[in-house]
Amino acid sequence: MVISIRSIETAVPSVEVKQGEIRDLFLAQPGRSRLAQRLITAAFDASAIDSRHTVIDELDGSPRGIQGADRYGAAPVFYDADAGLVLTPSTGTRNAVYAARCPELILTAARRALEAAPGIEAADVTHVVTVSCTGFYAPGPDYALVRELGLSPRTQRYHLGFMGCYAAFPALRAARSFCVADPGAVVLVVCVELCSLHLRASDDPDTIVASSVFSDGAAAAVVTGREPLGSPASPSAAVLELDAFETTLTPVGESDMAWTIGDQGFEMVLSRYVPAIIGEHIDSALAPLLMGDPNLAGRPASAIDLWAIHPGGRSILDKVQHALSLSDRQLEPSRSTLTEHGNMSSATVLFVLRRLLHAGAAGGATTQRVCAMAFGPGLTVESALLTQRRMPGA
């Protein structure tokens, strides 16, 4: 039975911030040491990011933000534009904004994904799998999708929380398992991350790096084993078949990437050693995935046509490219996603896969293999083999 992703669509908040402007904002915060200022400049300038999106309306460039008092009340919460200060709201305040802003993004991404999947209607959805590590509330995003999309109240709902940047892979793996168990299943997978709610001014190197790369966004995928439909007019005239998944832990790195809850937001540990650890161990982490495919066993990783690598940062992409001898063309979808959106944690790799899915529908080879991977706390490496296939007549 062939299980495939029929569509992937995305949504980002309306506030777009330029990397240079955010760099200058953090540089201007009072109390920054000279070393911290050098680190801020280096981290932001070397990020390969042009712009990011945020739900923090106070950063839209106007004194009161897009929503002004209607959104935050009389006093600024995250950013005081008049004073030029990045503020430090409590974790409860940050999470309240997460709960308020999450629904609009997941519903937009999900509606777009359902509209882009030929032959699939909202009423066909049997399972919902939501993913997030940047906030909590209940009833949560899974409930909102069922209610607001008009799905059956009997829709099965699952939420994967606090797994980090690799969590789209367990979600897709679960979706595939649901479809194997029920050939008529249609699974809606939605990742949403509002990372910017937890960014703060600091002299700490890990916090500086996090502030230079993380952003907000949502992505939704429709997964099913039903017979696909395709048409030249549809962006889903191509599918991504889910062939195989693997997960592994690197021998080192447990303390180098972590995500904890503090009194003033969630706190990221992202040490400077992470790219080196990934570069050193990525070959062995991928080996079980490639060895399990008779067409790839014994061949170099670069023999795979297309790649969707989670762009955790420019240096991570550089290390993976060098370690696996990948071409600039193979890295282009990941690098472009990083440049245009930054790192949206779990949602990011779906942004990359969306590029490949739409490119497949637009033309080129009828069938190409895809390797996707992401990295997260642990240090965990999740990977998958997919087949990009254009449908007959597409």
What confidence tens digit (pLDDT) does each residue in 213-246 have?
Answer: 999 999 999 999 998 765 444 544 899 999 999 9
Domain chopping of the chain, boundaries: 238-390
How far the first Cα of the chain sits from its last, in Å, is 22
Mean pLDDT for the stretch of residues 322-335: 97
Q: Residue 237: its pLDDT value, please?
A: 81
394: pLDDT strictly greater than 60: no
Mean pLDDT for the stretch of residues 68-79: 68
Q: Residue 230: its pLDDT value, please?
A: 53
DSSP conformational letter for 45:
H
**Residue 92, CB-side half-sphere exposure with 13 Å CA sphere:** 0
C-alpha 313/C-alpha 290 separation (Å) is: 25
- 186 DSSP β-pair partners: 224
Crossing angle of the two packed helices 91-115 and 141-149, in degrees rounded to 10: 40
201: pLDDT strictly greater than 90: yes
Count how many residues are written for the chain. Answer: 394
Which residue has better confidence, 360 or 112? 112
Which residue has better confidence, 73 or 348? 348
293: pLDDT strictly greater than 70: yes
Query: How confident is the model over 114-141, as pLDDT tens digits?
Result: 999 999 999 999 999 999 999 999 999 9
Catalytic residue list = 165
- Of 112-121, 179-188, 360-369, where does mean pLDDT reach its minimum? 360-369
Percent with pLDDT over 70 in the chain: 93
**Residue 66, CB-side half-sphere exposure with 13 Å CA sphere:** 10
Q: Residue 74: its pLDDT value, please?
A: 66
Closest by CA position to 209, among listed 393, 47, 15, 35 = 47
Mean pLDDT for the stretch of residues 92-105: 97
pLDDT band (50, 70, 90) for residue 65: very low
Mean pLDDT for the stretch of residues 7-16: 98
Q: Is 295 helix (H, G, I), strand (E, B) or coil?
A: coil
DSSP conformational letter for 322:
H
Q: Residue 229: its pLDDT value, please?
A: 62
Q: Residue 129: its pLDDT value, please?
A: 98
16: pLDDT strictly greater than 90: yes
The pairing of beta strand 380-390 with beta strand 367-376 = antiparallel
Topology of domain 238-390, CATH: Peroxisomal Thiolase; Chain A, domain 1 (3.40.47)
Residues 6+ apart with CB under 8 A from 17: 51, 52, 53, 54, 59
pLDDT band (50, 70, 90) for residue 67: very low
C-alpha 257/C-alpha 292 separation (Å) is: 28
C-alpha 198/C-alpha 86 separation (Å) is: 11
C-alpha 306/C-alpha 388 separation (Å) is: 9
Task: Report pTM.
Answer: 0.94
C-beta pairs of 34-41 under 8 Å, 24+ apart in sequence: 35/203, 36/202, 36/203, 36/208, 39/205, 39/208, 40/208, 40/211, 40/212
71: pLDDT strictly greater than 60: no
368 contacts 207 by C-beta, under 8 angstroms: no
For the chain, the average pLDDT equals 92
Mean pLDDT for the stretch of residues 260-278: 87
68: pLDDT strictly greater than 50: no
- Of 1-15, 173-187, 354-368, where does mean pLDDT reach its minimum? 354-368
- Of 190-194, 264-268, 317-321, where does mean pLDDT reach its minimum? 264-268
pLDDT band (50, 70, 90) for residue 47: very high
Q: Residue 255: its pLDDT value, please?
A: 81
pLDDT band (50, 70, 90) for residue 392: low
Two structure tokens written together for 289: 């995935």
Q: Which amino acid is at 277?
A: I
86 contacts 201 by C-beta, under 8 angstroms: yes
Q: Residue 364: its pLDDT value, please?
A: 66
Mean pLDDT for the stretch of residues 58-73: 56
Cα 34 off chain centre by:
33
Mean pLDDT for the stretch of residues 202-216: 94
